[in-house]
Structure 1
Amino acid sequence: MLKMDRRLFLKGTALLGCSAAAHPLMNSITFAALPGDNRLVVIILRGAMDGLDAIQPYGDPMLRKLRRNLSVGPDNGALDLDGFYALHPRLEPLLPLWQKGELAFAHAVSTPYRDKRSHFDGQDVLEAGTGNDLPVDRQVGGWLNRMLQVMPGTSAETAYSVGVEQMKILTGKAAHLSWAPQASLTLSPQAQMLLEHVYHDDPLFRDAAQGAMQISGEVSDIGKMRGPTADAQALAAFAASRLNAESRIAAFSIPGWDSHASQSAVLGRALDRLAAAILKLREGLGPNWQSTAVLAMTEFGRTARENGSGGTDHGTGGALLMAGGAIRGGHAFGDWPGLGEGQLYAGRDLMPTRDIRAYAAWAMHGLFGIERDKLERTIFPGLELGSDPGMLA
C-alpha cells in the first residue's frame, strides 16, 4: 500500500498547476446550505450605467429634447415594453425574459451618495450599504456579509465572490469564498487518484480534495468560452455551478459602464456582457432559476442631458435591473419623477425616488425571511425600508 506524509504532499501541491491563492486544498472548501432553496445573485455594474439609455423612458417627451443625438425610443430601434419604457436594442436577448415574467427594473433609484460623483466612493457606498458615511468604515464589511451574519444556520461556504477584484460587498466576518476566472486548476487522472488515496481516511481533507476535483472540471469547461462576452459568461457560469451546489448567495461585477464619450459603442458593449451573463446564469441554474433573484446594481446614474462628446456624465438617479424566476417580471417598479424643468436633481440628474438598498432589503426579506428590524438596523443601517414594492413572484 502506498504511504505518503501529508505534510510533504501539501508542500508539493504546486505541481498540480493551481494558483495557491485559489487552491481548494489550501482553503479547505466545505459546503453548508442556507435555510431554504432560494438564491440571490448581485451583479455590480462598475462605471455607472446610464439607466436612461439602458431602459429608456421614451414616454417622457423631455428625454428626446435632452438627448437629441442619442437614439431614443422604438422608432430608433429600442424595444417597447409598456408604452412608456423601452429596452435598449442591445438588451434584445433579454426580451423573452420580460415576456415570460422573469425580467423587471426599477428606475430613479440610488444609494444615499450625493454630489461628489466619484466612482470609487460611489461603489464603496453601494457595496458597504451603510449610507453616505465616507470614508466607508472597513470594519463593517459589506451588506451581503452582514446578511449572512444575521441568518441562522450559516457556516463555511455560504456565499461566493466571483471575479478578479475584491468584492467589498462580501467582506466581513461571515464565511465566504472567492474565485477568479484567471485561476487555473489542472488535475490529471493520476493526481485525482493520488488525492483520493492519500485523503481517503481523513474526512476534512477528503472533502476538500473532492471539491478540488469538482472545480477542476468546472474551470476547464469555463476556460473554453471565447468572444467579447466570455469573461462575463465565465463569471456567471461559475456562480451558477456554486448555486446549484450548496451556495445560496453569489456576487460578481461587470465593468465598462463609464460612457463620457461615444456612449452608443461603450454602453452597447457593456449591455452585451450583462445580457450574456444573465442568460448564462439562467442556462446554468436550470430548474434552480425559478428560485433565483438577480439584482444588477450600479453606483449611480448619469446626467439626463447628453454632453458634447456623444456621451453622458456622472449623475445621481439610475436604474436597477432584476431577473430570475423569483422576480415578478414584466413590471416597471418605482415612481417616475419626470425630466422636466424643476424635476431634475441639481438641475441635471434624474431625481432619485427610492433608495436602491430598499429593493435589496425587500428581496432578502422575501427570499430568506429576514426581519425588517435587522434589515434597517444591521444590514442597511439607517435605511427606511418603506412599503413592499412587490418585486418577488
Structure 2
Amino acid sequence: MLTRRLFLKSTALIGCSAAAHPLMSTATFAGAPGENRLVVIILRGAMDGLDVFQPYGDPDLAALRQTLSLGPDHGATDLDGFFALHSALSPLLPLWNAGQLSFAPAVSTPYRDKRSHFDGQDMLEAGTGTDLEIDSQQDGWLNRLLQQMPGQDSETAYSVGVAQMRILRGAAEAKSWTPKVNMDLSPQAELLLTRIYHDDPLFREASAQALEIVAGLSPDLPEAKRGQEHLELASFAANRLNGATRIASFSLPGWDTHAGQARGIERSLTRLSETILSLKADLGANWDRTTVMAMTEFGRTVRENGSGGTDHGTGGAMLMAGGAVRGGRALGDWPGLAEGDLYAGRDLMPLRDIRAYAAWAMHAKFGIPRAALEGAVFPGLDMGSDPRILA
C-alpha cells in the first residue's frame, strides 16, 4: 500500500512536500446518538495562522513581516480592531457577522521542536499528550470518542482514502473504501520540488522522480473536475451528515508555504472557504446543529523568510464555524510578538492545547464526561476552563 511516508522515502526526499501534500484527502464518517453534527477538517502542511487571522494590532508585527499579514490597509478585513481576516476568507464574513465563525489564535498540540509534518499530523490525529512514542499510539481520538458514546452505530463509520486516517483508527469498528487515487500537487509543492532543490544534484533528481510518480498516479479526470475535489468531498460529507452520520472528518492539503506564501495560502484559503460554504449550503437546516473545527499540525515562524514564505513553527490557529458555534470573536488570550514573548525566540507562543477546544466541543455536543475526555479520549489533557465555544 502506498502511504505518505513510503512515498517520501521512495523518492529520497527528506523535505516537507509529501507530508504537506498527501496523495489524496481522506475522510471518515461515524454515526452517533442525537442530532448534533461535528466536522473535523485536518489542514495538512501547517497553516500560517498569523496570515489567516492577522494580528495587525500587535505593534511588533510590522518588523517581523514585510509582505505578509499586513492587515486592513493591504486587503484584509478588520474583525475586532486587533485581528483582520485574510482576503481569501472574505466569503466567510457573513458567518462571522452572524456569530457562526470564530477562531483561537495561539494553540498547538503538545508536539514541540522537531517540526516534522508526519509526526505533527500523527500527534494531531492521535490526540496524545506526548511526542516521545507517536508510532506506538495505534488509535486516534475520534475512534476513542466513539467508544465513549453509547448507541454509536459502527455500520455508519467509514474511512475513505488510500489508507484509513489515524484519527478514526482503533477498537470502534470502521469500514474502509479506496477510490481512484488523485495526486494533484499544489503550486508551492512543485516549487519546492523544482526550484529549491535545483542546485542540489541529489534532491534535483529526487524531485524529478517525485513529479513523475505524481503524473503516473493522477487518474484521467475530466478537466472540469480537477481542482474541485474539495467541493465533491464537502458535498459527500454533507449528504452523509443529512442521514445517519453525525461525525465527519477529512483533510485538505496545501498549507506548507516555505516560499511564495501569498499565492499559495490564497489558493488554500479559497478552498477552505468554499468547503465550509458548501457544507453550509448542502446541510440546510442541519447547519444549525453543526460544528466545524479546522485544525493544523503546527504553526509557522513569526518571521517572514527571504523567499516570501514562512518556515515550520509552533503556535498556530484553529478555525471554528457552524450554526452551533458562538462565533464573532477570538477565543483565548494573545501572547504577543515581542522578542521575549516568542517560543524559542522564533515562533508564536501557544497559550492553550488545541485538544482542549476539541474536548469542550465533545462535552457540549455529545455529553461526554470531562473525566473520560481527559483520560480515555485525550490522554494527559487538562481541559482547563470552559471556553464556551458552542451556542
| TM score, norm. by length of structure 2 | 0.79
- 1:324-356: CA deviations, max 9, x gaps? 111111010011000012000000000000000
2-structure distance, mates of 1:359, 1:135: 23
2-structure distance, mates of 1:82, 1:237: 32
Q: Contact 1:155–1:175 (CA<8 Å) still a contact in 2?
A: no
Q: How many Å apart are 1:257 and its aligned residue?
A: 0.3
- Which position in structure 2 is the counterpart of 1:268? 266
Rate the CA distance shift 1:98–1:182 in 2: closer, same or farther, 3 A. farther
Q: Contact 2:37–2:247 (CA<8 Å) still a contact in 1?
A: yes
Do structure 1's residue 312 and structure 2's residue 310 form an aligned pair? yes
Q: Secondary structure at the match of 1:239?
A: helix
- Paired residue type of 2:384: G
Rate the CA distance shift 1:129–1:32 in 2: closer, same or farther, 3 A. closer
Rate the CA distance shift 1:85–1:142 in 2: closer, same or farther, 3 A. same
- Paired residue type of 1:47: G
1-structure distance, mates of 2:30, 2:300: 40
- Which position in structure 2 is the counterpart of 1:144? 142
2-structure distance, mates of 1:226, 1:131: 43
Q: Contact 1:229–1:276 (CA<8 Å) still a contact in 2?
A: no
- Paired residue type of 1:95: L
Q: Contact 1:112–1:132 (CA<8 Å) still a contact in 2?
A: yes
The two structures, once aligned, show a CA RMSD in angstroms of 2.0
Q: Give the share of equivalent positions with the same residue, in percent.
A: 68
Range with greater deviation from structure 2 (137-146 or 115-124): 137-146
Range with greater deviation from structure 2 (148-157 or 172-181): 172-181
Q: Secondary structure at the match of 1:157?
A: helix
2-structure distance, mates of 1:242, 1:311: 37
2-structure distance, mates of 1:95, 1:181: 35
- Which position in structure 2 is the counterpart of 1:75? 73
Q: Contact 1:359–1:389 (CA<8 Å) still a contact in 2?
A: yes
- Which position in structure 1 is the counterpart of 2:14? none
Rate the CA distance shift 1:180–1:274 in 2: closer, same or farther, 3 A. farther
Rate the CA distance shift 1:226–1:94 in 2: closer, same or farther, 3 A. farther
- Which position in structure 1 is the counterpart of 2:121? 123
Q: Contact 1:139–1:172 (CA<8 Å) still a contact in 2?
A: no
Do structure 1's residue 175 and structure 2's residue 173 form an aligned pair? yes
1-structure distance, mates of 2:57, 2:388: 23
- Which position in structure 2 is the counterpart of 1:297? 295
Number of aligned pairs?
325
Q: How many Å apart are 1:134 and its aligned residue?
A: 3.3
Task: Return the index of the structure with the highest Cα Rg.
Answer: 1
Q: How many Å apart are 1:33 and its aligned residue?
A: 4.5
Q: How many Å apart are 1:115 and its aligned residue?
A: 0.3
Q: Contact 1:229–1:272 (CA<8 Å) still a contact in 2?
A: no
2-structure distance, mates of 1:43, 1:179: 19
For 1:1-393, list aligned pairs within 5 A.
33-138=31-136, 140-178=138-176, 182=180, 226=224, 229-393=227-391
2-structure distance, mates of 1:101, 1:175: 36
Q: Contact 2:374–2:381 (CA<8 Å) still a contact in 1?
A: yes
1-structure distance, mates of 2:31, 2:120: 32
Q: How many Å apart are 1:166 and its aligned residue?
A: 3.0
Q: Contact 1:306–1:312 (CA<8 Å) still a contact in 2?
A: yes
Rate the CA distance shift 1:162–1:92 in 2: closer, same or farther, 3 A. farther
Q: Secondary structure at the match of 2:359?
A: helix
Q: Which runs of 5+ in 2 are unaligned?
A: 1-28, 183-220
Q: How many Å apart are 1:32 and its aligned residue?
A: 8.4
Q: Secondary structure at the match of 1:321?
A: strand
- 1:264-298: CA deviations, max 9, x gaps? 01111110111111111111111111101000000
Q: Contact 1:316–1:349 (CA<8 Å) still a contact in 2?
A: yes
Range with greater deviation from structure 2 (127-136 or 81-90): 127-136
- Which position in structure 2 is the counterpart of 1:9? none
Q: How many Å apart are 1:154 and its aligned residue?
A: 1.3
1-structure distance, mates of 2:94, 2:296: 23
Rate the CA distance shift 1:304–1:74 in 2: closer, same or farther, 3 A. same
- Paired residue type of 1:53: D
- Paired residue type of 2:235: A
Q: Contact 1:300–1:315 (CA<8 Å) still a contact in 2?
A: yes
1-structure distance, mates of 2:178, 2:224: 16
Q: How many Å apart are 1:162 and its aligned residue?
A: 4.4
Q: Which runs of 5+ in 1 are unaligned?
A: 1-30, 185-222
2-structure distance, mates of 1:225, 1:43: 26
Q: How many Å apart are 1:378 and its aligned residue?
A: 0.3
- Which position in structure 1 is the counterpart of 2:10? none
Rate the CA distance shift 1:58–1:180 in 2: closer, same or farther, 3 A. farther
